[in-house]
Amino acid sequence: MMQAIQGARLILTQPRGQVQPRLPIHRCMEFDWLDVSFDLSKVTPKEIEESFEDPFAVRLLPDGNYGSEEARYICLGRSVGNRPLFSVFWTDGKRYRVIVSREMTKEEENFYDRRNAQNH
């Protein structure tokens, strides 16, 4: 299995099998796009935001000793144009700060598809 997913635990699933702790998800997510450290011309902020709003998005918390202010999460989701995106982000429950975003690898896409197949 891929390194980004290996050693991670699911923290948000579809309604069927809720796993704790849950990451707060709000209908109106506020993203912080100031001084991002990756190229926003390769993956646009709109596509990233759409991938977070994907009703089938998979959000993970990598294993590790992170304090709540240092926790980094992973989001696997698809944009409205069906572009599969992998994002690492931080949140305080109100604002979302994307640290890096790129297209999913084939392994990540397979994980996303398998995870969603389990929930239906």
Is residue 2 in a domain?
A: no
Is 55 within the bounds of a domain? Answer: yes
Which burial class, exposed, middle or buried, applies to 13 when counting CB atoms under 10 A from its CB (0-12, 13-18, 19+)?
A: middle
CA–CA separation, 102 and 95 (whole Å): 20
pLDDT value for 11: 40
pTM: 0.73
- Tokens representing 62 are 């990598």
Domains: count for the chain: 1
d(CA 51, CA 82): 9
Condensed to tens digits (0 to 9), the pLDDT of residues 39-71 reads 999 999 999 999 999 999 999 987 665 566 678
Task: Give the number of other CB atoms < 10 A from CB of residue 108.
Answer: 21
Domain extent at residue 59: 8-118
Angstrom distance (rounded) from CA 15 to CA 56: 11
Q: What is the pLDDT of residues 92-112, one digit of tens each?
A: 888 999 999 999 999 999 999
Token pair in block for residue 18: 């809720």
pLDDT score recorded for residue 81: 96
Considering the domain boundaries, does residue 1 fall inside one? no
Q: Classify residue 35: in a domain, yes or no.
A: yes
The answer as to whether 47 is a domain residue is yes
**Chain centre to alpha carbon of residue 5:** 11
Instruction: Give tens-digit pLDDT for 19-37.
Output: 334 444 445 789 999 999 9
The residue whose two tokens read 């790129």 is: 102
